[in-house]
Amino acid sequence: MRRPTLTAMQCFEASVRHLSFTRAAEELNLTQSAVSKQVAQLEEILQHPLFRRVRKRLQVTPEGALYLTEVRKILSQVDMSTRYMQSYGGQSEVLNVTTLPTFGARWLVPRLNGFRFHHPNTYLNISNRVDPFDLEEARVDVAFFFGNGVWPKAECIKLLDEDVVPVCSPHLMPPAGFQHPLDLTRLVLLQNTTRPEAWHDWFDAQGSYTTHSYHGPRFDTFYMSLQAARAGCGVALVPGFLAEEELTSGQLVIPWEFALRSRNAYYLAYPEHKGEVDKVKGFVQWVEEHLDHPGGAPDRAAVNQAAS
**Amino acid residing at 29:** N
Give the pLDDT of residue 298: 46
Q: How confident is the model at residue 46 (pLDDT cuts 50, 70, 90)?
A: very high
pLDDT at 38 over 90: yes
The phi, psi pair for 233, rounded to 5°, reads -75, -15
Kindly state the average pLDDT of the residues 264-271: 95
Q: How confident is the model at residue 294 (pLDDT cuts 50, 70, 90)?
A: very low
pLDDT per residue over 186-214, tens digit each? 999 999 999 999 999 999 999 999 999 99
Total residue count of the chain as it appears in this document: 308
**CA 32 to CA 295: how far, in whole Å?**
70
Among 84, 60, 88, 87, CA closest to 72: 60
pLDDT at 274 over 70: yes
**DSSP assignments along 7-21, one per residue:** HHHHHHHHHHHHT-H
Contact 284, 157 (CB under 8 A): yes
Those residues whose C-beta lies under 8 Å from the C-beta of residue 75, and which sit 6 or more positions away, are 6, 9, 10, 13
- Average per-residue pLDDT in the chain? 90
**CA 39 to CA 105: how far, in whole Å?**
44
Give the pLDDT of residue 87: 58
Contact 178, 255 (CB under 8 A): yes
pLDDT at 119 over 50: yes
Give the pLDDT of residue 50: 97
Please compute, for residue 74, the number of CA atoms within 13 A of its CA located in the half-sphere on the CB side.
Answer: 14
pLDDT at 29 over 70: yes
**Amino acid residing at 31:** T
Contact 122, 283 (CB under 8 A): yes
In degrees, rounded to 5, the angle at the alpha carbon of residue 8 between the alpha carbons of residues 69 and 50 is: 55
**CA 56 to CA 149: how far, in whole Å?**
66
pLDDT per residue over 65-112, tens digit each? 999 999 999 999 998 888 767 655 555 688 999 999 999 999 999 999
Kindly state the average pLDDT of the residues 167-185: 96
* DSSP classification of residue 60: E
Kindly state the average pLDDT of the residues 217-244: 97
- Please measure the distance between the N-terminal and C-terminal CA atoms of the chain and give it in whole angstroms: 47
**Complete domains list, the chain, with CATH:** 6-86 (1.10.10.10), 91-308 (3.40.190.290)
